[in-house]
Amino acid sequence: MNSADAFLETLAASGLPPLIGRRRVRGDFRGGVVTRDLGPLRLAELVSPEGECFRPARSVRDADSELWQIELVTRGRVRAEQGGNTAVLGPGDLVLIDPVRPVRFATTATTSVTMLVPRGSLRLRADDATRLAGMRIRGDRGPGALVSSLAREMARSLSGFRADEADRSAAAVIELIAVALSAQLDDARPVPDEALRSRVVGFIEARLSDRDLTPAKVAVAHHMSVRRLHKLFEGQPLTVAALIRRRRLERCRAELAGTDRTVAAVAARWGFTDPAHFSRLFKATYGYNAAALTSSNRARMIKALPARLGEDGG
């Protein structure tokens, strides 16, 4: 295809939702569209030159309200904007597009696969669809990787299917797309504060011996700011820093009561690098010296020793 006008005409004739294009033609224009059907599923492989295209609200057709549009990039890069979302896609990545809403694309010289799926088959709620439209779905992991790989292969060859085989195969592909969208929705859904706090506390418990465990490190591990982390623990009995300190002290007290290791060794094991600071903190928290635990433990051991010897000798 050697002109932008011919490309857009072919695009419209293919049954794909219409677009208005602004292509930056450098040298020969290279573009093309090949469509294939698998039961109710339509696939179109597009070769597009560098440029921009968009769909205003006035271009929406009645038939577009029956479809969801899923774009897969196989070569080049695409920037897709819909609603409040912007997806920057590389090879293998996907994005869900709502054909009845305005959308804008900016692309390098690109090869892509468009999948048109009957709207009812994906069972997307309106609010979930609004959140997902225009959001990048990674094609290198999870269900997104399976959809990406399968769509590439289908775009190359769809032949030899009987009608019933095509319908059943399309149903399987659509179900896999639904799984990928559901997984993306779960990743994007805000985590309730209570569940997130439980995850943070579990993370802290597992790393109390890490001397570098700080609120900043906890925040990074949970992909949030330190400010968000502190807000998460507002209204709780302890702040994050106080929780780390208190749980470390509890581990130290339990270990000192059951071992003859030195106070300094136990303190260091649980992240306290300054023995003097640890001793002051321990006494301020429990009202007695940490050394008292070790010395009383030793005294009990020594007191019990003759009795044990006597029992062994009896």
CATH for the stretch 4-188: 2.60.120.10
160 vs 28: CA distance, rounded Å: 36
Superfamily of domain 193-310: Homeodomain-like (1.10.10.60)
pTM of the model: 0.59
pLDDT in tens, 31-71: 788 888 999 999 999 998 888 888 888 888 888 899 999 99
For residue 186, pLDDT beyond 80: no
The per-residue pLDDT for 34 is 87
* Residue 220, phi-psi category: left (phi > 0), alpha (psi -120 to 50), beta (remainder): alpha
Instruction: Provide, rounded to the nearest whole percent, the portion of the chain with pLDDT above 70.
Output: 88
Residues 205, 209, 215, 221, CA torsion sign: negative
pLDDT in tens, 240-289: 999 999 999 999 998 888 878 899 999 999 999 899 999 999 999 999 99
Q: What are the helix (H) ranges across the chain?
A: 4-13, 119-122, 126-132, 142-156, 163-188, 193-206, 215-221, 226-232, 240-256, 263-269, 275-286, 290-313
> Where are the chain's structural domains?
4-188, 193-310
